[in-house]
Structure 1
Amino acid sequence: MPLDNQALDALSGSALALDIYCWLAHRLHRIEGRPVTLHWRSLREQFAQEYQGKNPDKDFKKKFIPALRNVQMVYPDAKVKRVNGGLLLIASPALYP
């Protein structure tokens, strides 16, 4: 899966943002039909299992949302919406057709 080198450079200061970018580049163009809802717990388990304690999903979300915003700045065609309890992933065009 080809990635945009300028996007990778722009996100290079955040391992989480790089992970999100690669994940969305791989995942969004493979969605067929209905959008996919992912809950914060599932996302935390995929990206940051180290978040533990009193409210790990909330703590993870505080880090994930800004990283996602940065990814969306370099990947504007990524159709990702925040919904109650998680994210909605909507079929999006591949980075390179």
Structure 2
Amino acid sequence: MSYLICTGNEAVSKEASIIINDWRPLRIDSRGWVVVVKNVNGLDNVKEFYPAGEWKKAYEYLKIQSELRALLFSELTAEQINEYRMAIGLPPSEGL
């Protein structure tokens, strides 16, 4: 099983990619923990980490990613989405 995180903008995805000791963040679970995956010998290992220390940054990244994904499927205009992106410190999207 493999996982892929998509933000709709590959450049932003690569730029904001977070990898901690080969663990890649996937999502935030219902308890607020960071769910991560690491490929070892062709098998995906999945773990959960409390969002503290280095995992706090991964938590914030996933939270913003989730908000951006929700905006992409909303009825906001491209200008409104870009205003939001700039408000949280991201560059405007060229693809909108």
Normalising to structure 1: TM-score of the pair?
0.31
* Larger helix percent: 1
Larger Rg: 2
* Larger strand percent: 2
